């Protein structure tokens, strides 16, 4: 894996800051990547950009999800540490969502777990067309989204849809994600489309753009901090259960190229209608 000092790259072009994550082969994000994301955000902010894009340096990849290996390694100290790990991740994504500039996530590949939680903390999500998956599959591993995902997804698509997606650990294709409102756009080249959107936003009066963002989120998220405390506590308690360690161990025991299929387990279509009549 890439050395932690090189996990995030920041490039500013035409007043647009592009933050790219680079951790092949799977682009998992761990503790080092989370720490380096804070550095990358600081570097981008110091350039006073008109807009930001979060993406991957690797074609056909985004942040697949948080490193399950890192979560498992922390299970031994989970009672001692409590929910502090979740709080770090929540605060980092709050820093991102609190930026006055518009922030666009260019989802160039699989975007699950923390990867999608990061995307939810952005203002716009552009998914790349292809055989990719988007969503929050944590429950399948015995845990729950713990970096704001449960709260932001419910605010984005409504309580009922968020429950369906999170409790059933559903991950969606880009087109399915677009149909259900999880992303704003699907494009053949997500980064190119994100750059086009960023240039459009950068051409608008910056104070008006910032105040529009403040007004929309400020009215919606009055109780967001309290909601994050609820999520943090629930995430911590889920990790305490032996089933979480068992499920995550099963996942990390798989070859890298078999892991997404484990997450993307879909129940076969039933041949029986709910009222008992056969199709």
Catalytic residue among 11, 36, 80, 138: 138
Question: Is 94 annotated as catalytic?
Answer: no
Tokens 């000092």 sit on residue: 5
DSSP E strands in the chain: the ranges are 8-13, 16-21, 51-56, 103-107, 111-112, 124-128, 134-135, 171-172, 185-187
Q: What is the DSSP letter of 6?
A: G
Is 278 one of the annotated active-site residues of the chain?
A: no
With a CB cutoff of 8 Å and minimum separation 6, the contacts of 277 are none
Tell me the C-alpha to C-alpha distance, in Å, between residue 58 and each of 16, 100, 134. Answer: 19, 28, 17
- How far apart (Å, rounded) are the C-alpha atoms in residues 140 and 27? 20
Question: What CA–CA distance (Å, rounded) separates 86 from 52?
Answer: 24
Q: C-alpha 59: how far from its chain's center?
A: 18
Tell me how far CA of residue 95 lies from CA of 16, 25, 37, 98, 144, in angstroms: 18, 28, 11, 5, 21
Instruction: Please state, in angstroms and rounded to a whole number, the distance separating the CA atoms of residues 107 and 119.
Output: 8
Give the angle 41-85-258 at the CA atoms, nearest 5°. 85
The CB-side HSE value for 114 (13 A sphere, CA atoms) comes to 25
Annotated active-site residue in 43, 94, 117, 176: 117
Query: Are 271 and 279 a contacting pair, CB within 8 Å?
Result: yes
- Would you name the residues annotated as active-site residues? 117, 138
């Amino acid at each position: 894996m890439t050395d932690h000092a090189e996990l995030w790259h920041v490039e500013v072009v035409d007043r647009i800051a592009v933050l790219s994550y680079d951790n092949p082969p799977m682009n998992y994000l761990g503790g080092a990547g989370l720490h380096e994301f804070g550095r990358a955000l600081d570097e981008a902010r110091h350039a006073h950009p008109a807009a930001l894009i979060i993406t991957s340096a690797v074609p056909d990849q985004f942040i697949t999800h948080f490193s399950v290996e890192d979560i498992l390694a922390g299970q031994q100290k989970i009672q001692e540490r409590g929910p502090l790990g979740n709080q770090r991740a929540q605060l980092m994504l709050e820093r991102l969502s609190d930026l006055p500039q518009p922030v666009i996530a260019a989802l160039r590949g699989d975007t699950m777990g923390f990867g999608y939680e990061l995307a939810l903390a952005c203002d716009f999500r552009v998914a790349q067309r292809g055989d990719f998956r988007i969503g929050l599959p944590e429950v399948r591993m015995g845990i729950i989204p713990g970096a704001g995902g449960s709260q932001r997804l419910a605010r984005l698509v409504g309580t009922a849809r968020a429950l369906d997606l999170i409790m059933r650990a559903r991950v969606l294709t880009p087109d399915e994600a677009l149909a259900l409102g999880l992303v704003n756009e699907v494009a053949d080249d997500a980064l190119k489309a994100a750059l086009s959107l960023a240039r459009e936003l950068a051409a608008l009066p910056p104070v008006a753009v910032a105040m529009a963002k403040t007004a929309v989120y400020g009215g919606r998220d009055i109780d967001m901090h309290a909601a994050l405390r609820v999520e943090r506590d629930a995430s911590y308690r889920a990790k305490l259960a032996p089933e979480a360690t068992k499920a995550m161990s099963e996942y990390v025991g798989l070859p890298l190229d078999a892991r997404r299929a484990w997450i993307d387990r879909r129940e076969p279509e039933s041949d029986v209608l709910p009222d008992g009549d056969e199709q």
